[in-house]
Amino acid sequence: MQTRKSRASFTGRVTMADVAKEVGVSAITVSRAFRAPGKVSPELHSRIVEVSRRLGYVPSRAASALASARSMTILALIPSLTNNVFVDVLVGIKEVLDAADYQMLIAITGYDQPDAEERMLRAHLGYVPDGILLTGVDQSEAVRTMIDGQGLPTVHMMDHSDREDLWWVGYSNAEAGRAVARYLLGRGRRRIGIIASQLDPRSLRRCEGCREVLAEAGLYDPGLDLRVPDHSSIPLGAELVERLLNQAPDCDAVFVCNDDLAQGAVFQCSQRGVAVPDRLAVVGFHDLNASAWASTPLTTVRTPRYQIGREATRLLLARIEGTPTSARRIDLGFSLVRRASG
Amino acid sequence: MQTRKSRASFTGRVTMADVAKEVGVSAITVSRAFRAPGKVSPELHSRIVEVSRRLGYVPSRAASALASARSMTILALIPSLTNNVFVDVLVGIKEVLDAADYQMLIAITGYDQPDAEERMLRAHLGYVPDGILLTGVDQSEAVRTMIDGQGLPTVHMMDHSDREDLWWVGYSNAEAGRAVARYLLGRGRRRIGIIASQLDPRSLRRCEGCREVLAEAGLYDPGLDLRVPDHSSIPLGAELVERLLNQAPDCDAVFVCNDDLAQGAVFQCSQRGVAVPDRLAVVGFHDLNASAWASTPLTTVRTPRYQIGREATRLLLARIEGTPTSARRIDLGFSLVRRASG
DNA sequence: CTGTTAGCGCGTTCAA
DNA sequence: TTGAACGCGCTAACAG
């Protein structure tokens, strides 16, 4: 029908059929030349490659995904890019994916709306990813249902879970919070505060871990526990430490649940003439790149973000391709890095 | 044929046809219910929505893109995420895209291989994006051909070009480099160095702008001009300023082409006991968030990255949808932010 | 090593 | 307001 033809010519894109006609073979041969070069005679192969280049042919992933039910794409759901925590994870993911010839789809969910993860997932599931990388282990029921319904292989990152059904690569945020509290107690601090923002489940678990140990020591004081929902940032850290110091002048240490907050806190202390760590010890979290290079280098907890990205992706690809894996949960741990601030 | 049926059931995904059967209508009605709710009776619409939710139906973008030649997806090509420059751009892009119900595909090209942009573009073009956002204006011939061949609307970001055929939103890197040189000269500096890394075209243009003005003043000294191909980072900045000071102890100012380098430079100066700005003035570039909060707050050039993301996306969407635009090139300028370091 | 046939899930066109 | 037929560009399954 004429009307149909006009639609085809409307897109204007060069298709496999165009290449095939030009070379004088059938489309399937062109298809094979790209997917399984070994199954096509060398000279045909090179002619096909040459003609494809000349014509500017770009294979349509949409069509390929439809026909093969494989997209060679994995989807990564990330809360945010504005502090570098997840950028490092993405770098790790991308390295492994590049090597395996997979594409990476990034969906940024944000911390704000509770249903954002569900909406972003739904929107991106349409690209028919072969697998999903999720941040954290606290997905909503709706998200779980959607993933299970599609039967999509999934690996969780950046936290720790006891659930038997989850595949994850991360570390225990709760344990990290406990470690910080013990460290500070071990250094003789007794009036230990907690500063957190954003209040995602992972930050909260760090706080809880810290609170737990302090409470056991009989040293937990809710008046020193500051948690605000705002996004974490350097200026916010400055503001919060100011507030803490005003409402509890005898506070002698603080666990700040994110390094950018902690950087701001240390900055504010120096503005205000509060000696760090003598008068106030500050311990951050994540060991962002800049933290070692602050005026007062930050004592902080280093998290293996890059490795988490790599290992989680390896695990996911193995799962997708049916390769046996030695473990389905990988705890990569954390380490307390002692520098000047605490 | 039986073999085909088995393939269909193999994917396991819920399709439009499944929803249609369950509701008791034809597939096209389900399609319309989502794309043009007004064209379906209200009660049918709500039943379709309900059944879709219950069945866990997720529309396939792949199929949709194939059938309609529209993907509601735009592709953003970004060199890197590891310093926050492009993260801010992405935030701007995403805001506008979210409001217009488009999806964002991010491709990270890296600075290293010269053909990476071409490869990433080719790989991602397969998703049939409706438009492309490119970083910079210096694409290779291959990239230009590929885009032109597909007839894809494109907007360039983060630089300035005199070419009539380019749509762009950015600022002049060359002019920014000149402005820094003039500023430093105006403050009485005479032995002005240049430090740059990464050496992407935009950094180089900043350097060139600076060099140009210094040369006009008869004050350009190649011995003060340090350009290395490594990725920019805080430690690298520390290293480079050290080198500069060693080979030219009388250097009294330096334009550092990236804020993270500049932060490292200032840090190193304080380690080494070099007074900033009295002995050495330091001017950075981009005004990253942390730059205002360093021990010596950075004098730097603020670039409107978030706005560039927004405006470039607006322009691109207008172009895609055929809305007339007032301009196809938008210079958003830059501003020199004077703080303590210079 | 190469070709034929059919259909992936959806949207366009035309008809009712 | 709803439906039938067709094809978007590609690949699986067979055959040759």
Closest residue in A to B143 (Cα–Cα): A56
What is the widest separation between alpha-carbon atoms in chain B?
84
Question: Does B17 contact chain A (CB < 8 Å)?
Answer: no
Phi and psi at B187, nearest 5°, equal -95, 15
What is the widest separation between alpha-carbon atoms in chain A?
85
Which residues between 96 and 135 in chain B have a beta carbon less than 8 angstroms from any beta carbon of chain A? 103, 105-106, 108, 122-128
Our CA-based measurement puts residue A232 at a distance from the nearest CA of chain B, in whole angstroms, of 12
So what's the architecture of B71-171+305-332 in CATH?
Answer: 3-Layer(aba) Sandwich (3.40)
Cα–Cα nearest to A52, from A65, A34, A71: A34
For residue B312, the model assigns a pLDDT of 98
Asked if B87 and A91 come within 8 Å (Cβ–Cβ), the reply is no
Structure tokens at B271: 């380690």
Asked if A122 and B58 come within 8 Å (Cβ–Cβ), the reply is yes
For residue B11, the model assigns a pLDDT of 66
Best of B52, B109, B293, B298 to mutate (most A CBs within 10 Å, chain A): B293
Contact criterion met (CB below 8 Å) for B41 and B49: no
Dist. CA A294–CA A298, nearest whole Å: 7
**How many angstroms separate the CA of A63 from the C1' of C12?**
18
* Nucleotide in closest CA–C1' contact with A15: D9
C-alpha distances (whole Å) from B299 to each of A297, B198, B201 are 22, 21, 23
Q: Tell me, yes or no, if the pTM score tops 0.75.
A: yes
Structure tokens at A295: 């005026």
What would the CATH number be for the domain defined by A173-302?
A: 3.40.50.2300
Our CA-based measurement puts residue B105 at a distance from the nearest CA of chain A, in whole angstroms, of 7
DSSP-assigned states of every residue in B124-178: HHTT--SEEEEESS---HHHHHHHHHHT--EEEESS----TT--EEE--HHHHHH
**How many angstroms separate the CA of B66 from the C1' of C11?**
9
- R_g over Cα of chain A: 26
Dist. CA A97–CA A71, nearest whole Å: 13
Question: Does A141 contact chain B (CB < 8 Å)?
Answer: no
Highest CATH level, class, for B7-59:
mainly alpha
Question: Does B62 contact chain A (CB < 8 Å)?
Answer: yes
Chain B hits for A295, Cβ within 8 Å: 270, 294-295
* Nucleotide in closest CA–C1' contact with B1: C6
Indicate the range of A64-78, A209-223, A296-310, B273-287 predicted with least confidence: A64-78
* Nucleotide in closest CA–C1' contact with A38: C1
Best of A16, A83, A103, A293 to mutate (most B CBs within 10 Å, chain B): A293
Q: What are the pLDDT tens digits along chain B (342 aa)? A: 333 333 334 467 889 999 999 999 989 999 999 988 888 888 889 999 999 988 888 889 889 988 888 888 999 999 999 889 999 999 999 999 989 989 888 899 988 777 889 888 888 888 889 999 999 999 998 888 888 877 889 999 999 999 999 999 999 999 999 999 999 999 999 999 999 999 999 999 999 999 999 999 999 999 999 999 999 999 999 999 999 999 999 999 999 999 999 999 999 999 999 999 999 999 999 999 999 999 899 999 999 999 999 999 999 999 998 888 889 999 999 999 999 999
**Residue A8: is its pLDDT beyond 50?**
no
Dist. CA A24–CA A32, nearest whole Å: 15
**How many angstroms separate the CA of A38 from the C1' of C1?**
10
Dist. CA A189–CA A297, nearest whole Å: 19
Reported for B34-38, long-range contacts at CB under 8 A and 24+ positions apart, including other chains, are B34/B59
Our CA-based measurement puts residue A76 at a distance from the nearest CA of chain B, in whole angstroms, of 11
Question: Does A80 contact chain B (CB < 8 Å)?
Answer: no
Q: Please calculate the CA angle A134-A140-A142 and round it to the nearest 5 degrees.
A: 105
Residue type, A108: I
Reported for A175-178, long-range contacts at CB under 8 A and 24+ positions apart, including other chains, are A175/A209, A175/A334, A176/A206, A176/A209, A176/A285, A176/A301, A176/A303, A176/A334, A177/A205, A177/A206, A177/A207, A177/A208, A177/A209, A177/A210, A177/A211, A177/A212, A177/A213, A177/A255, A178/A209, A178/A210, A178/A212, A178/A213
Chain B hits for A259, Cβ within 8 Å: none
Cα–Cα nearest to A154, from A143, A142, A166: A166
Cα–Cα nearest to B75, from B154, B21, B188: B154
Structure tokens at A39: 């199954």
Coil/strand/helix, residue B320 = helix
Contact criterion met (CB below 8 Å) for A334 and A171: yes
Q: How confident is the model at residue A4 (pLDDT cuts 50, 70, 90)?
A: very low
**How many angstroms separate the CA of A4 from the C1' of C14?**
12
Helix B16-23 crosses helix B27-35 at what angle (to 10 degrees)?
110
The CB density around residue A92, as the number of other CB atoms within 10 Å, is 23
Give the nearest partner residue to B82 out of A62, A91, A150, using CB atoms. A91
For residue A10, the model assigns a pLDDT of 47
* Nucleotide in closest CA–C1' contact with A14: D9
Q: How confident is the model at residue A151 (pLDDT cuts 50, 70, 90)?
A: confident
Asked if A56 and B122 come within 8 Å (Cβ–Cβ), the reply is no
Element (H, E) at B106: strand B103-108
Q: Which ranges of B56-84 does DSSP label H, i.e. alpha helix?
A: 61-68
Structure tokens at A83: 């502090």
Query: Is there a common fold for B71-171+305-332 and B173-302?
Result: yes
Bond into B304 cis (ω within 30): no
Question: Does B60 contact chain A (CB < 8 Å)?
Answer: yes
Could you tell me the residue ranges of all domains in chain A?
Answer: 7-59, 71-171+305-332, 173-302
* Nucleotide in closest CA–C1' contact with B29: D2
Our CA-based measurement puts residue A217 at a distance from the nearest CA of chain B, in whole angstroms, of 36
Question: Does B59 contact chain A (CB < 8 Å)?
Answer: yes
Which chain D positions come under 7 Å from a protein C-beta? 1-14
Considering any atom of strand D, list protein residues whose CB lies within 7 Å: A 1, 4-5, 7-8, 11, 13, 15-17, 27-28, 31, 34-35, 57, 59-60, 63-64, 66-68, 70; B 3, 7, 25-26, 28-29, 32, 38-41, 44, 63, 66-67, 69
Element (H, E) at B312: helix B305-321
Question: Does A16 contact chain B (CB < 8 Å)?
Answer: no
C-alpha distances (whole Å) from A249 to each of A191, A192, A246, A296 are 10, 12, 6, 21
C-alpha distances (whole Å) from A329 to each of A57, A295, A313 are 42, 38, 13
Structure tokens at B53: 């939710």
| Mean pLDDT computed over A4-27 | 73
